[in-house]
Amino acid sequence: MQRLFAAVRSSVYGSAFVVLWFWFARWATRFDGVLGLRIPLWLELVGVVVAIGGAVLAVACVVAFFTVGRGTPAPFDPPREFVAVGPYRYVRNPMYLGGFSVLLGAGLYLSSPGVLCVALVFLVFFHLFVRFYEEPTLEARFGESYRLYRERVRRWWPGSG
């Protein structure tokens, strides 16, 4: 029953994040004319592939959080167990990379420089959030297991730390 409740919470929070990302993308398109940049139309297909890949990555993270971590991706309802499986075996922050990829893909698909700029701003925000809030919080919560994980797995790019 506890897993079912975690799955439902994860689905609700994940859906809310998708709506939020969609809203940001729609909002950012208003800057397209101001920026004066043109995105080649042939990048639409690349955008679809990047966005789908990002969505699949984000979903895999949510599944790992509720199956292994018994929690959700929401900071106010985090996993109760440390999660270092699935995409987290390769990179410490795959969910952020998935979200960034969805926005990047949307920007390419919509040929929207505004969405691409918002995606880059979010990438900077993600980095600062991870560096100054999430990593110290995880270290305080999970201790040595997180420190060893951080040494083994890189923050943003797959490979050893």
| Cα separation, 118 vs 122, whole angstroms | 6
Burial class (CB in 10 A: 0-12, 13-18, 19+), 33: exposed
Tell me the pLDDT tens digit for each residue of 132-153.
999 999 999 999 999 999 999 9
Tell me the pLDDT tens digit for each residue of 70-128.
877 777 888 888 999 999 999 999 999 999 999 999 999 999 999 999 999 999 999 99
The structure's pTM equals 0.86
pLDDT of amino acid 160: 64
| Cα separation, 41 vs 127, whole angstroms | 30
Tell me the pLDDT tens digit for each residue of 2-52.
777 777 887 887 777 777 877 888 888 888 888 888 889 899 999 999 999
| Cα separation, 14 vs 17, whole angstroms | 5
pLDDT of amino acid 42: 92
Domain boundaries of the chain, sorted by first residue: 2-152
CATH of domain 2-152: 1.20.120
